[in-house]
Amino acid sequence: MIKLKNTFLLLFLFFGLNQGFSQVYKFKTTGLSVAAKDANGKYGDWSELKLVNILINLDTNKNRIVIYSEAIQLFEIVEYLHAEESETDLIYPFVCKDNNGEDCTLSFITRKNQENRKQLYIKYDDRVLVYNVVNFE
């Protein structure tokens, strides 16, 4: 009986502590803008900022980023790239595959000179999307 209690206690502690160390970051979007490459391979102008209120989860345990837009966007993290820091930006980039199997790079960027404004860039070969984001509690 004591052995059974100890086993349950160990399982409870293992699963409880495992959840305690999970790395899930939640964000809420405030705006969305898009730019596409033209025939010359150069990005055109950014679209007008569209006000959007969407939840985003970055889950490092499941190696995925989920954007809960009208059509849910699921990005599988293939590679965690090194964070980059400059005088103006702090960048956390990820190499990903979206739910259509298309390769892309997602980068969470903090703009130091803009009162630490946060953005999420989703870069494909032919287009880039940017969401303005805030931390979500």
CA angle 114, 119, 125 (to 5 degrees): 130
Is 18 a residue whose pLDDT tops 60? no
pLDDT score, position 9: 35
Tokens of 123: 């870069």
In this prediction, residue 47 has a pLDDT band, given cuts at 50, 70 and 90, of: very high
What separation in angstroms does the CA of 118 have from each of 30, 62, 105?
10, 23, 16
pLDDT score, position 13: 39
80 three-state secondary structure: strand
